[in-house]
Amino acid sequence: MEKDQDKIINDVTSGEYKYGFYSDIETERIGKGLNEDVIRMISGKKNEPDWLLEFRLKAFRFWQTMKMPRWANLKIPPIDYQDIIYYAAPKQKISAAGNGEIDPELKRTFDRLGIPLEEQKYLSGVAVDAVLDSVSVKTTFKETLAELGIVFCSFSEAVKEYPELVKRYMGSVVPYTDNFFASLNSAVFSDGSFCYIPKGVRCPMELSTYFRINSANTGQFERTLLVADDEAYVSYLEGCTAPMRDENQLHAAVVEIIAEKNAEVKYSTVQNWYPGDKNGKGGILNFVTKRGMCRGENSKISWTQVETGSAITWKYPSCILRGDNSTGEFYSVAVTNNYQQADTGSKMTHIGKNTKSTIVSKGIAAGHGQNSYRGLVKVLKNATNARNFSQCDSLLMGNRCGAHTFPYLEVDNQSARVEHEATTSKIGEDQIFYCNQRGISTEDAVGLIVNGYAREVINKLPMEFAVEAQKLLQISLEGSVG
Amino acid sequence: MLIIKDLKAGIEGKAILKGISLEVKPGEIHAIMGPNGSGKSTLASVLVGRELVEVTEGSVTYFGKNLLEMSPEDRSKEGIFLGFQYPIEIPGVSMVNFMKTAVNEHRKHKGLEPLSASDFLKLMREKKELVEIDSKLANRSVNEGYSGGEKKKNEIFQMAMLEPKLAILDETDSGLDIDALRIVANGVNKLRRPDNSTIVITHYQRLLDYIVPDIVHVMYDGRLVKTAGKELALELEEKGYDWIKKEADNKY
């Protein structure tokens, strides 16, 4: 019986990563290594103002005093920070017409990823910022959005065009001293997306950023900043992929969200960085700091993540609930297959009165995958009537994987109500057989069961992406039943 | 349609089926009765391809094909249906989704287009009425939180949806009260056609009052030790299994 199980697991875990191709795009790269000159060089290439260079340098000096965090339930290979290229940008060929068209090879790359860069071709109602390696190559629907006063552009552009907004908000939620990877990002971040929704505006389309790592030996350090002013609403989606390579590649991003009074921000991620091969070779090391601040009363920030990629994921999208009656949500599905490891969860900090948070985490471990949920619910002294509900479920496939749960609670207000539920289950051979007997193949049965398990989270994604995410879940687990 | 010849099979090296021969013709209802542990469910497992049962000798031919070489899902798509003795719960997967996937896999196998959502729901409605299943069940997860009777009715509902050529009902009557038993049996009878067959595996005569078999077999210690018409079931009800056991023990 054990043998059968192994066989089924092997069958299902043989799924291949579908975005592992490399595009031959002429790229400008700087040399490997990191020091103040490199930071000045990056800043110089982007023609940045002095205040930003200053910010980078402060971050770098601080980072040098820090040590890599070791508390996560992860086996992290040694990372030589001097052996990484910190800036790589595709050299764009300027089109003859001079109408801002982009390099056909770049366009082809994004076409292959299913992200056409022409506005008329993309899913209706979704604006895209496409980032390749260190730079944003194209932002669609910029003009349409500008009519409503919405700013949606690359981070570099925002620094030039809206320096006041960037200055006011950058680092206000994730300071450059926050943690090792956030400090590193603050020193060397290259590009990312910036979005500002003005007072009273509901953004009429989904905004999205698609991150692609293409160059070898390059780290990707993007930075995203989303601001929803009073009464504003925006739904935002982030996607990411990378070529298959034998060596690990570092990705250390920072995302900051600010929601002012009565504002609502939905942030969805479908993370599909290259996970490494079946034997655990290669893959992206994904160390990301994502945090939202509900600054105003009645504001709401909702994180939804589907994490299927990366060799290592270290990520805790969090909410600081400062405004009274503000709400924070975290919905997560994290898959670890083969030798993937994930230590992910959320941190909800209740500061304001009547603040509410929800955490729903669904871990799926297959193969030799290790999946940890780590969460902190913190209720400060003045957070009267704070409420939290956390649910952490783990699904195991086979008997070589692991699921772990590390929930932390710090409650300093007697009126708080905090609930935590956790379950662990296994996809049973008998469940698979039951499906088989009805004519459903093992692969499809796993897809059905996993999607059923993750349904609560998938339902939170914007429609167009929910379908994609379902397929992705099935593909990432292709071959892994038990 | 189904020819079993001298079938021997076991689980983890232990012989359970010790030479079964059986032929099922289109339109027939066979009942396989016998005391606990005689191998009835193991026979059902072999027919649907559960891997934990190992066939050591003999052959099973289904419409001229070697059944033992077919995958479980292909057997299903070729028309073999098992009503499980203990239907499995699949949390999070709605009955609608589950059945839609199954029905469309069967259609694909026959070279048909998948059913549209509205046609599918219409089909579900019809079949639900046929087997008198509560329409709310369809929105729930597969078998999750169903009562014993609901689970068994749900098996017959799935059978109605998939319209098998050969249905094997493994102890479908166990755990049913008399009303549920009648509903389940009525469902099976309504699904009966001249070209499809049923193997009813049961312990008791009770179910056979409602589903009248053409042929009754008694299984004991891995062998079909007696085969006769429906009157055999009544005789067993009256006299129990002991006389058959004695007969068989003398013979083998």
Chain segment B142-178, per-residue pLDDT in tens: 999 888 888 988 999 999 999 999 999 999 888 788 8
**What does the pLDDT read at residue A218?**
78
Which long-range contacts (C-beta less than 8 Å, at least 24 apart) are formed by B2-5? B2/B47, B2/B60, B2/B61, B2/B62, B2/B67, B2/B166, B2/B197, B3/B59, B3/B60, B3/B61, B3/B62, B4/B58, B4/B59, B4/B60, B5/B58, B5/B59, B5/B60, B5/B61
Which residues in chain A touch residue B90, judged by CB atoms under 8 angstroms apart? Answer: 431, 434-435, 448-449, 452
Give the Cα separation of B31 and A376 in Å (integer): 60
Compare all CA atoms of chain B with the CA of A436 and give the residue at the minimum distance.
B73
Confidence (pLDDT) at A372: 93
CATH code for the domain of B208: 3.40.50.300
Contact A431 B88 (CB under 8 A): yes
Average pLDDT of adjacent 10-residue blocks, chain A of 482 residues: 46 58 72 90 91 95 93 90 84 47 68 62 59 66 85 90 94 95 94 92 86 74 94 88 72 95 94 82 90 97 90 94 97 90 95 97 90 95 96 89 92 94 88 96 88 86 75 72 50
Q: Which residues pair with A135 in a beta bridge?
A: A132
Tell me how close the Cα of A452 comes to any Cα of chain B, in angstroms: 4
Place of tokens 């609403």: A233
Closest-CA residue to A178 (of A86, A252, A78)? A252
pLDDT mean across residues, chain B: 91
- What percent of chain B shows pLDDT beyond 70? 100
User: What residues form DSSP beta bridges with A439?
Assistant: none
Which residue of A lies nearest to B161 if distances are taken between CA atoms? A438
Residue A93's pLDDT is what?
47
| A434 contact residues in B (CB cutoff 8 A) | 84, 87-88, 90, 142
Structural domain for B50, as ranges: 2-251
Residue range A157-178, pLDDT digits in tens: 899 999 999 999 999 999 999 9
In terms of CA atoms, which chain A residue is nearest residue B80?
A: A437
Instruction: Tell me the per-residue pLDDT of B105-115, one tens digit each, with 9 for 90 and over.
Output: 999 999 999 99
Amino acid identity at B244? I
Contacts of B84 in chain A (CB under 8 A): 434, 437
A350, A460, A345: which is closest to A391 by C-alpha?
A345
Q: What is the mean pLDDT of residues B130-135?
A: 75
Nearest to A439 among B77, B84, B89 (CB): B77
Tokens of A440: 């459903």
Contact yes or no for B215/B229 (Cβ under 8 A):
yes
Are residues A434 and B88, on separate chains, in Cβ contact within 8 Å? yes
Q: Which two tokens stand for residue A248?
A: 């690990």
Contact A430, A399 (CB under 8 A): no
User: What are the CA-CA distances from residue B147 to residues A446, B151, B154, B156, B213 (Å)?
Assistant: 25, 6, 10, 15, 28
- For the cut 50, the answer to whether the pLDDT of residue B7 exceeds it is yes
Instruction: Count how many domains chain B has.
Output: 1
Residue A231 tokens read as 């009464």
This prediction's pTM: 0.81
Q: Could you tell me which residues are beta bridge partners of residue A360?
A: A331, A391
Res B249: pLDDT? 84
Cα–Cα distance between B122 and B105 in angstroms, integer? 18
By the CB < 8 Å criterion, does A100 face chain B?
no
For residue A396, what are the β-bridge partners? A365, A426
The pLDDT, as a whole number, for residue B135 is 66
User: Which residues of chain A are within 8 Å of residue B75 when distances are taken between CB atoms?
Assistant: 437
Q: Please report, as a single letter, which amino acid is at residue A408.
A: Y
Chain centroid, CA A85 distance in Å = 21
Q: Distance between CA B160 and CA B102 in Å, rounded?
A: 12
- Quote the CA–CA distance of A330 and A265 in Å, as a whole number: 12
- Chain-chain contact of A448 with B93 (C-beta, under 8 angstroms): yes
Q: Is B55:B11 a contact under the CB 8 Å cutoff?
A: no
pLDDT above 60 for B20: yes
**Residue B81 at interface with chain A, using a CB cutoff of 8 Å:** yes
Q: State how far the Cα of A14 lies from the Cα of A9, in Å rounded to an integer.
A: 9
| Cβ proximity of A319 and A348 under 8 Å | yes
Shortest CA gap B242–chain A (Å): 34
pLDDT value for A146 = 87
List C-alpha distances in Å: B73 to A10, A317, B47, B108, B193. Answer: 19, 42, 12, 12, 23
Q: So what's the pLDDT on residue B19?
A: 94
Q: Containing H/E element for B211?
A: none
According to the model, what pLDDT value does residue A13 have?
44
Instruction: Provide CB contacts within 8 A for A367, sequence distance 6+.
Output: A9, A13, A278, A336, A337, A338, A339, A340, A397, A398, A400, A401, A480
Question: In this structure, is the dihedral angle defined by the CA atoms of residues A258, A261, A263 and A265, taken in order, positive or negative?
Answer: positive
Give residue A91's pLDDT.
67
> Which of residues 102 through 121 in chain B touch A, CB cutoff 8 A?
102, 105-106, 109
pLDDT score for A94: 42
Are A376 and A405 in contact by the 8 Å Cβ rule? The answer is: no
